[in-house]
């Protein structure tokens, strides 16, 4: 195997530096936290994505389960304080006045009377703590590593941090590397003597209490610097894990992709194991998680989701496990997976941290259903009626715009893929062949691209029809799957060579009963040619709570006699020669 040499670290496999491809399969049943043997068995667990440092006993309980051990950059303040009781203050983030800053969602936590302060991942003492935690977790036998609050200091930019000496010095070095014209534009004359803390203080003082630190004109550049520093540290931790184990160690992180900025270190990650807003308090199913699932697909990394702490608090307070069942179905229908909700972290500002242990009798059968029919999940990818080009810079500026767009497409049953164009913090250029192979393209943002991507986009508009607005796309795109029913149904088609599967989700959820209202006679019109299965005349109807049935396809039309919450129209042969060839391809 080809090897690369790293200073200080000796030799390590080159593959530890690159993504390992799919470390999760679409049919995986992922646990967030550790559980007992019987609970793993009940759900059919295959992966523990956010476990602790493994012990012999815990590993034995989790036999056959791939174990990711978690290291937290924000939540482990107690252990950090314990480790460095005399020096811990050196590693704290500082606001513009030099004061430490509490972690907003851990204000109810203390260690020996010391509040949970946000710590700076640019400070050597805190870096030492994190490195040691990575080494001990890997040495204890974890198969992979999970990093919570993976952005470290950069995750607290919104709080106006961090102005510690290290951060201020590092910014000087960052500015020095910028082209002179760029520095002139930013108004930085002599970067070697530039002190951003002093500069911001002066700027704030010039306009009394009206100005906010995060509105300073250089804050966007400061944010780029902080995010790049965070990403570089994540790559260091990734290398350290691989070096410690003597093998590539897959790395996941709590990179909630609906939160702007969390893609900045994606090259250090193999998967996203992340909190994802599900808007439980809306008391209906939301299409928003699908945006995160599509973003993960665009980045070539799998997504293991959990809902937000606020979502789980709402589910617990109102006792709505039926809503969660819909979240589970949407995740797998979207090619990703909601982590088994056996023990969930809840958070509200009034109650702080508390926990939800939902009814496994309701949840576990859905996961066992996925395991039973894994062949209809694995190796399939999203069929794209439409590819949407999303410049990351635009997502950073106005994420809601992209959420609204995704939601409108989802509501119209237009199956979309995202093509993410990178920027100053996300190294992810557009791929010309990918753009050219799309059946239909929506490019709602013509600017905000890096120069090479901008050229590709400009050429695209010259050479073919490209939709510029979501209204035009909705008017011009004919979805491969159309549904007629007495209620709202989402259709999510997924394909592989020789086979297709159309997930049907019943969105008729009634919070009063915490259940969906079953639909009779759902008419599904399928463009078989678009799915690569022109010759198909029958399909299977696969649902969680009944035997597999065979249904006829007449002129592309299928009648589903009854739709409960979730069903799969399975067409073709998922184990066909065509699909075997495809999976054997390098």
Nearest to 22 by CA among 262, 297, 294: 297
Which has the closest alpha carbon to 364: 334, 339, 344, 333?
339
Nearer to Zn ion, 73 or 563 (CB): 73
Closer of 69 and 91 to Zn ion (Cβ): 91
Q: Pull the structure tokens for residue 213.
A: 């630190």
Shortest distance in whole angstroms from residue 345 CB to Zn ion: 27
**Smallest distance from the beta carbon of 153 to Zn ion, in angstroms?**
5
26: its two tokens: 């679409």
Would you give the end-to-end CA distance of the chain in angstroms? 16
Least distance CB 226 / Zn ion (angstroms): 9
Residue 582: CB minimum distance to Zn ion, A: 48
Distance CA 362, CA 369 (A): 12
**Closest Cα to residue 71, out of 144, 154, 8?**
144
The rounded distance, in Å, linking the Cα atoms of 168 and 165 is 5
CB of 170 to Zn ion, least distance (A): 8
272, containing H or E segment? strand 271-276
- Specify the residue, 130 or 167, whose C-beta has the smaller distance to Zn ion: 167
Of the pair 167, 466, the CB lying nearest Zn ion is at: 167
For Zn ion (CB under 5 A), the number of binding residues is: 5
Minimum distance of Zn ion from residue 167's CB (angstroms): 3
Q: Nearer to Zn ion by C-beta: 120 or 516?
A: 120
Nearer to Zn ion, 162 or 231 (CB): 162
**285 CB-near residues (< 8 Å, 6+ apart):** 323, 326, 327, 330, 505, 507, 509
Residues in the chain, total: 586
Question: How far is 156 from 103, CA to CA, in rounded Å?
Answer: 9
Q: With CA atoms as reference, report the closest residue to 302 among 365, 374, 382, 222.
A: 382
Of the pair 166, 428, the CB lying nearest Zn ion is at 166
Asked whether the beta carbons of 108 and 30 are under 8 A apart, the reply is: no
Site for Zn ion in 79-138 (CB under 5 A): 120, 122
Closest distance to Zn ion from the beta carbon of 119 (Å): 9
What is the C-alpha to C-alpha distance for residues 139 and 486, in angstroms, rounded to an integer? 56
Residue 118 carries which DSSP code?
P
**Shortest CB 97 distance to Zn ion, Å:** 14
356 vs 307: CA distance, rounded Å: 12
Distance of CA 142 to the CA centre of its chain: 22
- How far apart are CB 122 and Zn ion at their closest, in Å? 5
**Shortest Å, Cβ 121 to Zn ion:** 8
List the interface residues with Zn ion, window 146-175 (CB under 5 A). 162, 164, 167
Q: Which is nearer to Zn ion, 123 or 394 (CB)?
A: 123
Nearer to Zn ion, 146 or 227 (CB): 227
- What DSSP letter does each residue of 445-492 carry, written as one string? --SS--HHHHHHHHHHHHHS--B-SHHHHHHH---SEEEE-SS-EEEE
SS3 state at 115: strand
| Residue 524: both structure tokens together | 């599904």
Which residue, 49 or 162, has its beta carbon nearer to Zn ion?
A: 162
Nearer to Zn ion, 162 or 481 (CB): 162
How far are the Cα atoms of 78, 294, 384, 454, 579 from residue 332, in angstroms, in the given order? Answer: 36, 12, 17, 34, 20
Judge whether 443 and 457 are in contact, CB under 8 Å: yes
State in angstroms the smallest separation of the CB of 117 from Zn ion.
12
Q: Which two tokens stand for residue 84?
A: 């460095």
**Nearest to Zn ion of 162, 175 (CB atom):** 162
Q: In the bound complex, what is the minimum distance in angstroms from residue 125's beta carbon to Zn ion?
A: 12
Which residues make beta-bridge pairs with 506? 489
**Footprint on this chain of Zn ion (rule: CB under 5 A):** 120, 122, 162, 164, 167
């Amino acid at each position: 195997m080809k090897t690369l040499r790293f200073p200080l670290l000796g030799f390590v496999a080159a593959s530890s530096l690159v993504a390992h491809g799919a470390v999760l399969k679409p049919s995986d049943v992922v646990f967030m936290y550790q559980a007992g043997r019987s609970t793993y068995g009940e759900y059919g667990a295959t992966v523990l994505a956010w476990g602790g440092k493994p012990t012999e006993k815990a590993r034995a309980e989790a036999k056959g389960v791939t174990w990711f051990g978690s290291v937290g950059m924000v939540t482990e303040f107690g252990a950090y304080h314990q480790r460095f009781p005399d020096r811990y203050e050196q590693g704290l983030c500082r606001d513009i006045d030099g004061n430490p800053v509490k972690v907003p969602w851990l204000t109810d936590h203390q260690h020996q009377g010391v509040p949970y302060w946000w710590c700076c991942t640019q400070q050597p003492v805190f870096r030492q703590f994190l490195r040691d935690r990575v080494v001990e977790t890997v040495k204890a036998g974890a198969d992979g590593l999970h990093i919570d609050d993976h952005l470290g200091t950069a995750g607290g930019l919104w709080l106006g941090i961090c102005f510690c000496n290290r951060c201020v010095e590092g910014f000087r070095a960052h500015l020095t590397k910028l082209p002179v014209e760029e520095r002139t534009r930013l108004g930085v004359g002599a970067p070697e003597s530039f002190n951003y803390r002093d500069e911001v203080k002066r700027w704030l003082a010039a306009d009394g209490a009206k100005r906010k630190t995060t509105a300073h004109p250089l804050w966007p550049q400061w944010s780029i610097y902080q995010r790049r520093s965070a990403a570089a540290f994540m790559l260091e931790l990734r290398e350290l894990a691989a070096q410690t184990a003597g093998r590539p160690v897959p790395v996941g992180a709590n990179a909630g992709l609906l939160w702007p900025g969390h893609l900045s270190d994606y090259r250090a990650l193999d998967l996203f194991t992340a909190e994802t807003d599900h808007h439980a308090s809306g008391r209906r199913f939301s299409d928003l998680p699908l945006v995160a699932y599509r973003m993960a697909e665009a980045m070539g990394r799998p997504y293991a989701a959990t809902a937000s702490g606020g979502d789980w608090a709402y589910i617990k307070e109102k006792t709505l496990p039926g809503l969660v069942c819909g979240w589970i179905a949407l995740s797998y229908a979207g090619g990703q997976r909601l982590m088994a909700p056996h023990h969930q972290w809840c958070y509200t500002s009034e109650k702080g941290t508390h926990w939800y242990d939902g009814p496994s009798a309701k949840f576990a059968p859905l996961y066992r259903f996925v395991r039973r029919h894994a062949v209809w999940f694995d190796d399939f990818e999203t069929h794209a009626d439409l590819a949407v080009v999303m410049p990351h810079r635009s997502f950073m500026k106005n994420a809601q715009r992209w959420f609204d767009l995704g939601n409108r497409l989802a509501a119209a049953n237009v199956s979309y893929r995202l093509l993410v164009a990178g920027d100053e913090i996300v190294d992810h250029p557009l791929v010309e062949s990918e753009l050219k192979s799309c059946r239909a393209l929506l490019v709602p943002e013509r600017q905000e691209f890096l120069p090479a991507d901008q050229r590709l986009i400009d050429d695209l508009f010259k050479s073919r029809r490209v939709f510029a607005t979501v209204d035009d796309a909705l008017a011009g795109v004919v979805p491969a799957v159309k549904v007629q029913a007495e209620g709202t149904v989402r259709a999510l088609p997924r394909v592989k060579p020789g086979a297709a599967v159309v997930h049907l989700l019943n969105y008729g959820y009634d919070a009063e009963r915490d259940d969906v209202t079953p639909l009779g006679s759902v008419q599904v019109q399928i463009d078989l040619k678009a799915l690569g299965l022109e010759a198909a005349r029958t399909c299977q109807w696969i649902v969680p709570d009944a035997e597999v049935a065979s249904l006829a396809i007449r002129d592309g039309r299928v009648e589903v006699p009854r739709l409960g919450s979730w069903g799969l129209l399975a067409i073709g042969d998922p184990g066909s020669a065509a699909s075997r060839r495809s999976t054997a391809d390098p």
